[in-house]
């Protein structure tokens, strides 16, 4: 049975070991967090969340009632989806208690926070080697799903990563990467399409995570380099604080229609989170508009608030590298987050331009970005396909004709 109070640990910037920073109590779905006095006196101590868990002179605890009492940055670090299922399978137990999930999860949670008694178990986490995952995939009988390899790879003890698609943290080139596999229920070439979209996002002026594409026989995987981890030549691991957009927007449930579940609201929050002395959050807001526009153009309707986030680096919060840009085979022309002040989810040229000034884009500049992005995708998609040795018909270029009439794109 999991206890109701646990220590909270954080990897401070440029350090390779956790620091005890506070205690978290969860009782009757009400969470309470209190910073330790020793942490307050620690050189370089930072807030785990500058707005919901600010490190101030006040010594009282902070309370949370949303998300069953879990503060957002703690919820971000908790396993879910495939990761939770894998943990339950390996432990042979059902883990309904959120405190138990945080305790038993592996040490590859996103960000730099752990909520647990046994911090040494988190520190001892060693990702399996990519070569071992490749070997596990290669040994599978054709009728078995690729997700089996993620459960059976040598040395695997689980993962704290979220999302439904099978994935694992692996070591590759002496750094930590996330290996995402094709699941049985995925549309054809889902890893390939994500790889292509991520590569093209970079070409279109978006700060996207580094990706690689690999095939093991007929099986595919996309590798995404972790932007919240760095491994030294000696094998020491540093971690960066992370807050999902779900946390930044102070959301409770993952329901469409929440007025706060919007790009406009997230842009407003960037002013609060990223604004600091000598730093202008305008460039972050412009980056966010480009991500919104690219998601619409490439057909990624999986742009929900947990697929955006902020990272703490260089003494401030900025948008993390873009990730999980996964175009749908059949795009309904609606995004998961509202694009306009009136809450419209409809992906069309008018909505992309309607409130672009809220992201510090003038209409003509925004129009130009959309046109050049469409041209880049049309020209570079086949190039990227060929570069990884895939035939031109393996993944069709996203249909973008719906943008044409409004912008004069042919």
Which tokens in the block code for residue 216? Answer: 């093991």
CA-CA-CA-CA torsion for 171, 177, 178, 179, nearest 10 degrees? Answer: -60
User: What pLDDT does 11 receive?
Assistant: 98
Contact 190, 147 (CB under 8 A): no
The single-letter DSSP state of residue 390 is: -
Pairwise CA distance, residues 140 & 146, whole Å: 8
| Strand ranges across the sheet with 219-225 | 167-172, 175-181, 219-225, 211-216
What are the backbone angles phi and psi of residue 168, rounded to the nearest 5°? -145, 150
Residue found by looking up tokens 């000598």 in the block: 278
Pairwise CA distance, residues 29 & 11, whole Å: 27
Between strands 219-225 and 237-239, the pairing is unpaired
Number of Cβ within 10 Å of residue 59's Cβ equals 9
Pairwise CA distance, residues 186 & 222, whole Å: 14
Contact 329, 187 (CB under 8 A): yes
Of the candidates 288, 302, 311, the one whose C-alpha atom is nearest the C-alpha of residue 229 is 311
Residue ranges of alpha helices (H) inside 164-252 are: 190-203, 245-248
Contact 309, 245 (CB under 8 A): yes
* Segment-wise mean pLDDT, segments of 10 residues, the chain, 410 residues: 81 97 96 97 96 91 96 96 89 91 94 98 95 95 91 83 90 97 89 98 98 96 98 97 97 78 96 83 97 97 96 95 94 94 94 96 97 96 96 91 63
Give the domains, in start order, of the chain with CATH numbers. 5-123 (no CATH), 130-229 (3.30.200.120), 236-407 (1.10.1070)
Pairwise CA distance, residues 337 & 301, whole Å: 9
User: Can you point out the beta strands (E) in 28-137?
Assistant: 30-35, 62-64, 113-115
Pairwise CA distance, residues 352 & 231, whole Å: 39
User: What pLDDT does 35 receive?
Assistant: 98
Pairwise CA distance, residues 24 & 36, whole Å: 11
């Amino acid at each position: 049975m999991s206890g109701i109070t646990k220590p909270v640990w954080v990897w401070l910037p440029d350090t390779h070991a956790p620091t005890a920073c506070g205690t978290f109590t969860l009782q009757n779905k009400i969470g309470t967090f209190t910073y330790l006095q020793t942490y307050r006196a620690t050189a370089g101590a930072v807030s785990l969340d500058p707005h919901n868990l600010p490190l101030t002179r006040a010594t009282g605890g902070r309370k949370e009632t949303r998300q069953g009492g879990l503060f957002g940055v703690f919820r971000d670090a908790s396993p879910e989806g495939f990761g939770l299922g894998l943990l339950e399978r390996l432990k042979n137990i059902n883990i309904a208690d959120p405190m138990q999930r945080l305790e038993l999860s592996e040490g590859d949670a996103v960000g730099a926070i752990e909520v647990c008694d046994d911090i040494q178990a988190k520190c001892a986490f060693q990702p399996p080697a990519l070569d071992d995952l490749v070997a596990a995939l290669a040994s599978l009988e054709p009728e078995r799903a690729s997700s089996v390899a993620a459960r059976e790879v040598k040395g695997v003890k689980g993962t704290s990563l979220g999302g439904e698609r099978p994935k694992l943290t692996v070591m590759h080139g002496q750094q930590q990467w996330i290996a995402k596999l094709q699941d049985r229920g995925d549309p054809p070439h889902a890893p390939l399409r994500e790889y292509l979209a991520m590569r093209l996002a970079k070409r279109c002026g978006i700060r996207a995570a580094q990706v690689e594409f690999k095939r093991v026989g007929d099986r595919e995987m996309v590798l995404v380099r972790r932007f919240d981890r760095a491994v030294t030549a000696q094998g020491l691991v540093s971690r960066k604080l992370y807050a999902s957009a779900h946390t930044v927007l102070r959301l409770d449930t993952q329901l469409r229609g929440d007025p706060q579940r919007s790009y406009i609201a997230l842009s407003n929050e960037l002013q609060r989170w990223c604004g600091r002395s000598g730093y202008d959050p305008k460039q972050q807001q412009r980056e966010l508009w480009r991500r919104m526009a690219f998601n619409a153009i490439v057909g990624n309707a999986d742009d929900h608030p947990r697929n955006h986030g902020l990272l703490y680096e260089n003494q401030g919060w900025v948008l993390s590298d873009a990730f999980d840009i996964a175009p749908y085979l059949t795009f309904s022309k609606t995004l998961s987050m509202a694009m306009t002040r009136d809450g419209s989810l409809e992906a069309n040229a008018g909505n992309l331009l309607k409130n672009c000034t809220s992201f510090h884009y003038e209409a003509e500049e925004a129009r130009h970005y959309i046109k050049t992005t469409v041209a880049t995708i049309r020209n570079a998609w086949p190039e990227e396909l060929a570069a990884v040795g895939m035939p031109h018909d393996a993944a069709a270029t996203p249909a973008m004709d719906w943008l044409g009439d409004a912008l004069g794109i042919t």
